[in-house]
Amino acid sequence: MSAPAAFHLLGPLPTGTTLLEASAGTGKTYTIAALATRYIAQGTATIDQMLMITFGRSATRELRERVREALTNARDALRDNAGVNDPVIAMLAALPPDEKASAAERLARAVADFDAGTIATTHQFCSHALSGLGIRADVDPGEVFVENISDLVDQVVDDFYVRKYGTGTVTGAPISYQDAGDLARQAVRDPQAALDAGPVEPDSIHATRLAFAQAVRAEVLRRRRRDRLVTFDDLIIRLRDTLADPATGEQACRRLRESYRLVLVDEFQDTDPAQWSILKTAFHGHRTLILIGDPKQAIYAFRGADVFSYLDAADHADHRATLLTNWRSDHAVVSGIEAVVGGMQLGDPRITVHPVAAAHEKSRLHGVGGQARVRLRTVPTTDDKPPPVNDLRVVVAGDVAADIVALLSGPGRLLGADGCLRPVAPGDIAVLVGKHSQAALVRDALAAAQVPAVVTTSTSVFATDAARQWADLLAAMQRPRATMLRAAALTDFIGYTPEDLALRGDHIDDDVALRLRTWAQTLEQDSVAEMVARIEQETALSSRVLSQPHGERQLTDLRHVAGALHAQQRLTKVGLVGLSDWLSSQIRRTTQSDREPTSELTRRLESDADAVQVLTVHVSKGLEFPVVYVPFGWDRFPAKPEGPLLCHDASGRRVLDVRGVGAPGREDLLAARDTEEAGESLRLLYVALTRASSSVVMHWAASAKNTGCSPLHRLLSAREAGSTDPKHAYNVDQPPVIASPWVAVESVTGARPAQWQPAPVPLLPLDVAPYTRQVDTAWRRTSYSGLTASLHDVERGPGGFREDEPDEIAEEISVPLDGRALASPFADLPAGAAFGTLVHGVLETVDTDADDLTEEVATRCRERLVAFPVAGVNTDALAEALMPALNTPLGPLAGELSLAEFRTGDRLAELDFELPMGTVATARLADLADLLQQYLRADDPLHDYPERLRIPALRDSTLVGYLSGSIDAVLRVPGPRFLVVDYKTNLLRDPARPGVEALVEGYQPPALARAMMDAHYPLQALLYSAAVHRFLRWRLPGYDPDIHLGGVLYLFVRGMAGPASGGSGVFSWQPPAALIVELSDLLDGRQR
């Protein structure tokens, strides 16, 4: 196929629909930014009339930065008449003075209004467009966006399979549970692929498989609509359908066209039919539409990308052009790659490798000899049967390591951006592979040669050995049987060896069981993070793991899984059993799916040190490296004929054939699938080769089954045969021949690589730096508890309060049930910190909107008692005690409403805060006492509290650093006004009246005021009120402290016995709003 015309960036600006082919390294992103600059400077469009779309969040961030930078540079150059090397800016600077001034003004306006422009991912654009179309797109404002619906799909698969076939162990089930799950997951994952790939015979296995996939796809969609869940695919399909709707589509298209005069789409080769349909329907033939991509780099079919959509766009485009200069690679590399892939068709006659020129005429890799910078290293063949492919892989990986050691140890030098030569470093080198197993081979070979390397893949952390070790540990904590204990003993957390178990098995079992018991208690009572800290302290986990081969990688994965577990625990409040089940399901799902994980679950880089990068070709897309190794271009095994087939049928439809082997027309679809995958394998090799700027090293080996259909062998064999259309497979007889001076063919010797000895770093004499600064010992991160930690034993009021301490009622109290002589609903329940935590947990999670509040409270009590059991407490007793508390009126500050009468939307539970205080230790608690003295009236129930803040243990405490805390609840009452609420389970004793703590009478306002001051709760209330003040100041439009600060409610639940208790247990206090504002300023370091 003939090459498109050359695109000239300084020529006439494109109009209509233009398809711009940008081969690897030809400056695609620069071109987009330059075009945007020209369109704006020349008055064709303003920044808010431009839509720029790309694929992926990181690519969007980069494009946004590059466009902003281009606009800013052009603005500055025109404004300052500065000379620049950029050809676009130079062209604008050469405009007549009046046109130049207008261009500068337009660019300045674009920079100022830059955020008005739309630079977004495809999904972000679709979401934004649907929101803008509103009712025309049938948008439901209550929908919830979800990035991953794997849990829902698994649930539907389980429901359908068990309903139809039982547990899967029933003999005679036509499809296995695993096969059913695989085909169903693929059907849901690719909703644009038609499932009716061909006919089926009624009651056949093919009909059964098809029906199962269709049923799961339909049911997942139904449940998502029921639960109002929206995915990425939904956004695209919904916008496509909206624009194509006969009734409202034209109006919706008109709305989009009014918003955007110019549309630029980056990475267009990664589009799909629905995305192209959106662009074609909305903009093609109506607005300037520039589609920029490279079909030679279309490698994401497994994500749903469809290169045939690109080719369809090429047929519809008004203009086609191509970028002809490679700005990445040296001339020698460009020429060598041309010798391998030049003129070749990469899966379709319309996807042909056309020549490009190199901007870097001279090689930037010096001192390696010869002009060739593309090398092909071949493993010698023998007349005997080819060796096993795994043996060849090991040989090739070892040769890669040996060659890298030779390069690092040799005289080779790279020309840096500063124009200076420097030695080649490990960080200059990338090894690109096709599979994670190949990456592991290369990593091991480099490790044996003492070359630092890191593996960068898109593997989920749940697919690692670290995740399995975590699963073993949690399972043994749950079920400490001998087999479980020994599996846990072998994990890195404990570190025993099989030899240890053989010699001291029973003793080790006891040791491990004891450790696991204490760790499990820490996990349940504190958190996963606390448990990990304890393991580290007890077993020196980090140092042990780091001493192992690939220890840095393993420790990174262990910590990553720990972080995921901790996040899950905080999100769902589950305990050991829930975490173990969740982790097991994540591991199972990862092994069953080939879909890339979310960014949070992708394995993290274990080190940012100077190291060889080992990564898959898919991950390398968009990156560049000075030196690139492509060791496994000879190693490809075609996909098996079983399982679902994703391809295009004879009519061009994208289909997913789930019917299975032997279905009518299956052979034709299998051939189509093989052709498409063979084409994509050629494009993968093209992407790999074009990552290099200064050197490429390929390997070739002769495997009986894998080499003949591999992309490298097919390209070289086709070149040798004079063809530009590589067949699916070629015979493997002799190493291929490349007749080009730009490619050096070398033989692999198989010698064991030497170990790399990096040049010693010169040691400079060290001097002790003089320390001239003063350590700020006052700065701290503290809380109410931290401020008062030393106080609870200093002064006690006559009542001697006990805050949630363990206590038992000594005797049963018999009193008449008249008003304040009511018995506390909690009289028969224990006291203590654990009980207080239990009550807080229930009140935090109870849903007051529930139809049956009694049952709701019982459910929450039951859940909390399962997770955190407390001796002497059962569900019925706790629920029976809490119901009166929930129904007790909260007094005038709350409009006499009870907790049960506050809707969930008017209650913000567990408001965590982290407040910055002053940076210099100027404010002290004594200053807070002065504030209180100024504002509290004589009749205030806490009028005497300021003097308690002036005791020696408190008054000099500094307020500098950060103040953290968690407010039990913030209630919104009509007005609106906002109340700070704190729950207390304290027993309030009075030595003069034994047993009064078991009566409601013991929790009347005077007793509550004493308890508040004895425990320094007023300080807590003031700090929490300051936190709410700052929160509302940031979040509430028109915020006025005098109007919106509603006061404080401290709810001593033991005294709250329902409406008949007359307000017992409820301490109400409304500190003046001005006091709270001044306190906030005081905490912020501002002096009065």
**Could you list the active site residues?**
982
What is the rounded distance in angstroms from the CA atom of residue 54 to the CA atom of residue 76? 27
Note the maximum CA span of the chain. 108
Residue 765: how many CB atoms within 10 A of its CB? 4
Ramachandran region, residue 436 (left: φ > 0; alpha: ψ -120 to 50; beta: rest):
alpha
CB 52 within 8 A of CB 117: yes
What is residue 1042's DSSP assignment? H
Q: Is 9 exposed, middle or buried (0-12, 13-18, 19+ CB in 10 A)?
A: middle
Written as six digits, the tokens of 1003 are 């929790």
Question: Residue 383 contacts by C-beta under 8 Å, 6 or more apart in sequence?
Answer: none
Q: Which helix (H) or strand (E) holds 928?
A: helix 925-935
Residue 1016: how many CB atoms within 10 A of its CB? 20
Picking from 625, 630, 667, the residue whose alpha carbon sits closest to that of residue 649 is: 667
Query: φ and ψ at 916, to 5 degrees?
Result: -75, 135
Q: How many CA atoms lie within 13 A of 24 on its CB side?
A: 27
- Rounded to 10 deg, the angle between the 205-227 and 177-189 helix axes is 50
Question: Residue 209 contacts by C-beta under 8 Å, 6 or more apart in sequence?
Answer: 175, 179, 183, 658, 659, 660
What is the rounded distance in angstroms from the CA atom of residue 338 to the CA atom of residue 715? 11
Question: Residue 101 contacts by C-beta under 8 Å, 6 or more apart in sequence?
Answer: none
Written as six digits, the tokens of 769 are 């730096």
CB 460 within 8 A of CB 601: yes
Question: Residue 481 contacts by C-beta under 8 Å, 6 or more apart in sequence?
Answer: none
Considering just the CA atoms, what is the radius of gyration of the chain in Å?
35
Instruction: Give the DSSP letter string of 210-267.
Output: HHHHHHHHHHHHHHHHHHTEE-HHHHHHHHHHHHH-TTTHHHHHHHHHHH-SEEEESS
Question: Residue 731 contacts by C-beta under 8 Å, 6 or more apart in sequence?
Answer: 708
The dihedral sign for the CA sequence 705, 706, 707, 713: positive
Query: φ and ψ at 947, to 5 degrees?
Result: -65, -30
CB 51 within 8 A of CB 76: no
What is the rounded distance in angstroms from the CA atom of residue 88 to the CA atom of residue 471? 58
What is the rounded distance in angstroms from the CA atom of residue 357 to the CA atom of residue 322? 12
Question: Residue 319 contacts by C-beta under 8 Å, 6 or more apart in sequence?
Answer: 14, 16, 17, 18, 19
Residue 853: how many CB atoms within 10 A of its CB? 16
Q: Which helix (H) or strand (E) holds 288?
A: strand 288-293
CB 983 within 8 A of CB 838: no
Picking from 598, 599, 603, 645, the residue whose alpha carbon sits closest to that of residue 149 is: 598
Picking from 451, 742, 752, 487, the residue whose alpha carbon sits closest to that of residue 611 is: 451
What dihedral angle (degrees, nearest 10) is formed by the CA atoms of 437, 442, 446, 448? 60
Sequence letter at residue 1049: L
**Length, in residues, of the chain:** 1088
CB 655 within 8 A of CB 649: yes
